[in-house]
A and B are shown apart, each in its own frame.
Chain A
Amino acid sequence: MSPPRSTADLRVIDDPRPLPAVPSAVLGTLVFILTEIMMFAGMISAFQITRASAVLGWPPPGQPRLPADETLINTIALLLSGVALFWAGRRFERDRREARAPLLLAFALGAFFVVFQGVEWVALLRDGLSMTSSQHGAFFYLIVGTHGIHVIGALCVMAMVVQRHQQGRLASSTFQAMRVFWYFVVGVWPLLYTLVYL
């Protein structure tokens, strides 16, 4: 690592400035999440408008129905992953080493969500639901796919956090920022599930 470029990044002991109310890593992540919320809001409102103005009803006739019941299992898995990460955070603040088990559990549940969804997509594609088959398919893959990419990206960061934690060099603010982002990814899913699947 090159030496720290900014005192805010790695605080010098005699830095006279008061500690910020929100660590920079968390604040930066929150600003990023603001954009993400607005992006999902844009997609959801576009979806709602298109659904409301569909002439032939929704979902369109002749198009496969979405597996709402199976996805409920997946929804619960993702929510549990959020709970596990919350638990990991609580343990991390008490004793850093204890966070390992819930952290791995959160990762495993998140990975399960991605794999489950992949299997679901393969089945739907086989049944004839694609981005060009209808507006229904287009919006399904757009919204659920965008969320899926977020889950995969967040899992990559979580893998890095797991590795750093194992090496004993996980900064508290990094872990906190990662948790905030995961809560966003988990928190937005029930909304998407309710709107798109049900």
Chain B
Amino acid sequence: MATAEVTHEAHDDHGHHEDEGFFKKYLWSVDHKVIAVQYLVTGMAMAVIGGFFAYVFRMQLAFPGEAVPGFGIVSPAEYNALVTNHGTIMIFWVAMPVLIAAFGNFLIPLMVGCDDMVFPKINRLSYQIFLLSAIVLISSFFVEGGGFGGAWTAYPPLSAVSEYNLTPLGATLWVVAVALEFVAFLLGGINFITTAMNSRAPGMRLYDIPMAVWMIVVASILFMASVGPLIAGAIMLIFDQTLNTGFFDPAKGGDPVLWQHLFWFFGHPEVYVVLLPALGFVAEIITTFSRKPLFAYRTVLYTVFGTGILSFTVWAHHQFISGIDPRMAHIFTITTLLISVPIAEMMFVYIATLYKGSITLNTPMLWALAFIGEFLIGGVTGIFLGASGPDVFYHDTYFVLAHFHYTFFPIAIIGSFCGLTYWWPKMTGKMMNETLGKIHFWGTVIPFNVIFLPLFVLGQLGQHRRIYSYEGFGELMREDVWLGMGMQDMRVLATMALVVMLAFQVVFFVNVFITLRKKEKDAGPNPYNANSLEWLAPSPPGHGNFAELPTVYRGPYEYSHPDRKAKGTDFWPQWEKE
């Protein structure tokens, strides 16, 4: 509480009233559900910005030098800034706030059966710092020199020396924004772990915690344990930029590869930080809609912890061509290939859960199944990159790019839509339109594959990343290389598919708008006949969540239990004694 009490003192003079206005409610609320909505809305707004950036630079790649509708001519510096900030936004301001902060805040107190987070004021401070970090990042696009363009990995000396990156202010604001964002998630993570451990409803043992909560807790532990070195690195980078120190500058006796170690020591566990919550949502959805218990709950739990530990030993596979010792590369190849075993196991567990289930193919279930299928492609292509031999060729090609989009798109976009469509009735009390939901689903998933499958091929053909225009490279403009298409045709195809996919997002916003306009709250507390505690609370849950704190009698996945089937029902909620 040492830190908690400090914030108590600092904010007490603001007081708290129940009938506050808009700004009071949305900037000073300590209710975990309001904070969840704040994170969700901010994250989705940032997703629109990040999606727009992708649209602009993909248009530049498809039609180099031509004016992009809605943006204009893209200069090389702008191209770099767009690519850099697309990556930064999508990971730190979309995947993290939506998957961990929004759903963690909304779900953890509801699913473990308590009325709020353990440290509500720290929670509020967390969102306020996050909002500040988003404002700092957005402001960095408008300063002199433009936004930072040294890639989201910010390798020095490019990121450290303003004579190289030509964005003296943009680069510093970028690092400051990322550092603030880390502070926000540190405060959030403390809450998530402590609440799940100490505030559970009576009767809820560790093995009765729903998988979504476990996954967010493990993800928070991973984040807390991995972010330290990057915070150290970020401080050193800011000093290099502003105080003229030489931590990463070889001219001053520094070591640029040092940054890569500090960055990827965080950067690789970060993949699992965002992956695990998405896997948790999928676990909830496939058990509910196949009416079966989660296959091997405890094994999954141990696997998650194992994956977390292993994820700290793989970071240097990002540096196979950075001059690390080849003997080290062998070790990191082995650990990297090892980590595909637990992830593959979880995929099999999910398929085993579906096996012989009574499956309902509604929108959340479609998203969950798409997650399994699409992430599988991302995982399998990762094996090529984790092995140091092939990686020498693939490094920094579009094969890498396509690979990590096949992991991050399922995580950040499909995973978010899994959670959003599944818990939407709980959040608003209203059911979404299924037809629009399915149109949006297919309109997102099909174009997604059309965008990134050609990019695997382009990567195989040696197309390098982070290039403004391929017109000057004859060997990257070849004709008739795949299915009768030339290399530039494939770039145009990918861009067109992106435009189609972005257009289909309108369907989602229309669906949200229609649902929110509906007068009647038609969801009821438990529209899916699901078992976990959040479905006991009214939809939407009021202040304090539950009329009275629930007691838990069993695990969260007791579907189709024979004793209950005899009574004519196929689910057995955690809160029902008999």
Contacts and interface: CB of A to CB of B under 8 A. Distances in A.
Do A and B associate with each other? yes
A24 B198 contact: yes
B252 interface: yes
Contact of A138 (B117, B201, B233, B247): B247
Interface in A83-132: 131-132
A29 B228 contact: no
Contact of A38 (B114, B226, B551): B226
B327 to A, nearest CB: 17
Interface stretch (B3-11, B42-50, B474-482): B3-11
B247 A46 contact: yes
Nearest to A154: B2
B194 A50 contact: no
Interface in A39-94: 39-43, 45-46, 49-50, 53-55, 60
Nearest to B182: A35
A198 interface: no
A158 to B, nearest CB: 9
Interface stretch (B94-102, B237-245, B436-444, B506-514): B237-245
Interface in A1-37: 1-2, 5-9, 15-18, 20, 22-29, 31-32, 34-37
A34 B225 contact: yes
A190 to B, nearest CB: 20
Contacts of B118: 6, 8-9, 24, 28
A196 to B, nearest CB: 14
A84 B22 CA distance: 49
Interface string B1-30: 111111011001001100000000000001
A174 B8 CA distance: 12
Interface stretch (B253-261, B279-287, B483-491, B520-528): B253-261
A38 B227 contact: yes
Nearest to A158: B2
B24 to A, nearest CB: 13
Given A2-B16, A50-B258, A135-B254, A142 B239 contact: yes
B186 A6 contact: no
A2 B114 CA distance: 19
Contacts of A160: 5-6, 9
A162 interface: no
Contact of B231 (A2, A42, A134, A135): A42
Contacts of B194: 24, 27-28, 31
Interface residues of B, number: 62
A41 B228 contact: yes
Contact of B229 (A5, A24, A41): A41
A9 B117 CA distance: 9
Contacts, number: 178
Contacts of B261: 45
B383 interface: no
A28 B3 contact: yes
A16 B239 CA distance: 52
B115 A6 contact: yes
Contacts of A134: 253
Contacts of A40: 228, 232
Nearest to B265: A42
A27 B198 contact: yes
Contacts of B191: 28
Contacts of A36: 228
A17 B6 CA distance: 27
Nearest to B31: A5
Contacts of A46: 232-233, 236, 247, 258, 262
Contacts of A43: 232
A25 B253 contact: no
Contact of A24 (B16, B30, B119): B119
B243 A177 contact: no
Contacts of A41: 228-229
B342 interface: no
A12 to B, nearest CB: 10
A146 interface: yes
B190 interface: yes
Contacts of A135: 246-247, 252-254
B189 interface: yes
Given A42-B229, A42-B265, A157-B5, A28 B119 contact: yes
A166 interface: no
B162 interface: no
B135 interface: no
Contacts of B199: 6-8, 17, 24
Interface string B34-52: 0000000000000000000
A7 to B, nearest CB: 6
A39 B233 CA distance: 9
A178 interface: yes
A25 B2 contact: yes
Contacts of B230: 42
Contacts of B247: 46, 50, 135, 138-139, 142
Contacts of A49: 255, 258
Contact of A54 (B1, B221, B253, B258): B253
Contact of A7 (B115, B119, B243): B115
A35 B224 contact: yes
Given A29-B2, A138-B246, A157-B2, A18 B202 contact: yes
A132 B191 CA distance: 39
A16 B202 contact: yes
A109 B30 CA distance: 37
B373 to A, nearest CB: 35
A1 B121 CA distance: 12
B120 interface: yes
Interface of A: 1-2, 5-9, 15-18, 20, 22-29, 31-32, 34-43, 45-46, 49-50, 53-55, 60, 131-132, 134-135, 138-139, 142, 146, 154, 156-157, 160, 171, 173-174, 177-178, 180-181
13 contacts: A1-B12, A16-B549, A17-B200, A22-B197, A36-B228, A38-B228, A39-B228, A46-B236, A50-B253, A135-B246, A146-B235, A157-B6, A160-B9
Given A16-B202, A50-B247, A171-B1, 17 more contacts: A6-B119, A6-B199, A7-B115, A8-B199, A9-B119, A17-B199, A17-B202, A26-B1, A27-B198, A29-B1, A35-B224, A42-B233, A42-B262, A132-B243, A142-B235, A142-B247, A160-B9
Interface of B: 1-6, 8-9, 12, 15-16, 30, 114-120, 122, 186, 189-191, 193-195, 197-202, 221, 224-233, 235-236, 239, 243-247, 252-255, 258, 261-262, 265, 549, 551
The 10 closest A-B pairs by CB, nearest first: A38-B228, A25-B1, A42-B229, A39-B228, A42-B232, A20-B198, A5-B120, A174-B1, A178-B2, A2-B16
